[in-house]
């Protein structure tokens, strides 16, 4: 495993731990300002601020548990993609049943001048598990 692949795996791990901790600021540091999220059935979520608004709204009423299994990472110059099988459990803070979504997600990342990686595009194909 090369240094870039390891850095991307670490980014994915930090994303999960920050999400579970409810640390919105830490999650935001892992994405580019012009990030775009594509989620089935919804219009594109464009920009870090749009993601922040959605995440803060979700975390106001819920907590999140996540797991992922990275299937593939491919690095080409300053761009890379990461395909994962993702499971997200959204648990209401006050009563109610958890909602579990599972499926594939593909993130496109761009290498920064300092050598770090940021998510610039994300395609999320999760569906509710019944």
Structure tokens at 21: 């901790």
Structure tokens at 23: 């640390």
Q: How confident is the model at residue 23 (pLDDT cuts 50, 70, 90)?
A: very high
Per-residue pLDDT tens for 38-77?
998 999 999 999 999 999 999 999 999 999 999 999 999 9
Per-residue pLDDT tens for 78-127?
999 999 999 999 999 998 999 999 999 999 999 999 999 999 999 999 99
Q: How confident is the model at residue 1 (pLDDT cuts 50, 70, 90)?
A: confident
Please provide the DSSP assignment of 4-66 as one string: HHHHHHHHHHHHHHHHHHT-HHHHHTTEEEEEEEEETTS--EESHHHHHHHHHHHHHHEEEEE
Domain count within the chain: 1
Full residue range of the structural domain in which residue 46 is found: 3-128
Q: How confident is the model at residue 130 (pLDDT cuts 50, 70, 90)?
A: confident
Distance CA 108, CA 93 (A): 32
pLDDT at 119: 98
Stated pTM of the model: 0.94
pLDDT at 62: 97
CATH number of the domain bearing residue 12: 3.10.450.50
């Amino acid at each position: 495993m090369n240094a870039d692949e390891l850095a991307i795996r670490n980014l994915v791990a930090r994303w999960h731990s920050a999400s579970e901790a409810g640390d919105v600021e830490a999650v935001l540091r892992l994405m580019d300002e012009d990030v775009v999220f594509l989620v089935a059935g919804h219009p594109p979520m464009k920009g870090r601020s749009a993601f922040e608004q959605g995440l803060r709204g979700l975390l106001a009423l819920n907590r999140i548990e996540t797991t992922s299994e990275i299937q593939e990472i491919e690095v080409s110059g300053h761009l890379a993609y990461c395909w994962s099988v993702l499971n997200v459990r959204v648990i209401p803070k006050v009563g109610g049943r958890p909602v579990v979504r599972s499926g594939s997600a593909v993130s496109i990342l761009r290498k920064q001048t300092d050598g770090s990686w940021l998510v610039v595009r994300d395609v999320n194909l999760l569906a509710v598990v019944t």
